Amino acid sequence: MARTQELQTFLDATRDAFAASGATAEALAMADKVFGAADATPGEAAAPEAVEMPACEHLQDALDRARGEGGHVGALADAIAGIAPRLMWVLRPNGQNDDATFKARHANAVVVGEGGLEARDDIRIGMSLLAPDTRYPDHRHPPEEIYTVISPGEWKQHADGKFHAPGVGGFVHNVPSIIHGMQSTNVPLLAVWSLWMGVD
Ligand SMILES: [Fe+2]
């Protein structure tokens, strides 16, 4: 089945916003792999159960703020609004021991990949939403990862690393298995992540 226009618009907007993010050559090369694969072959369309988490109450605020930025960030916010109602929002993987407060203050949704709107395992694209003043625990995973940042928020790498703010429209690039975490400021954090799961 062909990819829906809403999903294609989201993929294009994510790719365009990342290309304008000031990303390094290495991160742009990684983006080329992910979005090149997405463009080359649409995966099989999927329809996960549409589920919201408590933190989704902050999505509208995050999207409104991003729209106010205009440009690529605003376009990506519009594109997210077009697919958000169809997404299965979930809590973070392996977070069974997270406390109730954190569980109520974060949500992730896969857009492309298992659990998303297109079933495939070579790439994984989705987003993370944090309520204001929320710390997302440090974690690591083998796939290389980029974030397209469309809200205020701070990211860190390495266990002892300092938080830094990429800025709205900025980027984060996590090389394979690096320890990384993030935290919101006094407004919601919203960012799209893209992982390369394939073989070079
Ligand atoms: Fe990650």
| Ligand 1 midpoint to CA 3 (Å) | 26
Number of domains in the chain: 1
pLDDT in tens, 78-112: 999 999 999 999 999 989 999 999 999 999 999 99
Predicted pLDDT of residue 163: 98
Predicted pLDDT of residue 200: 63
Task: Answer whether 0.75 is exceeded by the pTM.
Answer: yes
| Ligand 1 midpoint to CA 139 (Å) | 7
Reply yes or no on whether the pLDDT at 77 is more than 60: yes
| Ligand 1 midpoint to CA 142 (Å) | 9
Please provide the average confidence, as pLDDT, over all residues in the chain: 96
- Residue 1 — pLDDT band, cuts 50, 70, 90? low
CATH code assigned at 68: 2.60.120.10
pLDDT in tens, 123-137: 999 999 999 999 999
Predicted pLDDT of residue 198: 79
| Ligand 1 midpoint to CA 4 (Å) | 27
The DSSP result for the chain, as a single string, is -PPPHHHHHHHHHHHHHHHTTT--HHHHHHHHHHHHHHHH---EE--PPPB--GGGGGHHHHHHHHHHH-HHHHHHHHHHHHHGGG-BEEPPTT-TT--HHHHTSEEEEEEESTTSSEE-SSEEEEEEEE-TT-EEEEE--SSEEEEEE-S--EEEESTTPPPB---TT-EEEE-TT--EEEE--SS-EEEEEEEE-S--
| Ligand 1 midpoint to CA 94 (Å) | 12
Domain that holds residue 150: 5-196
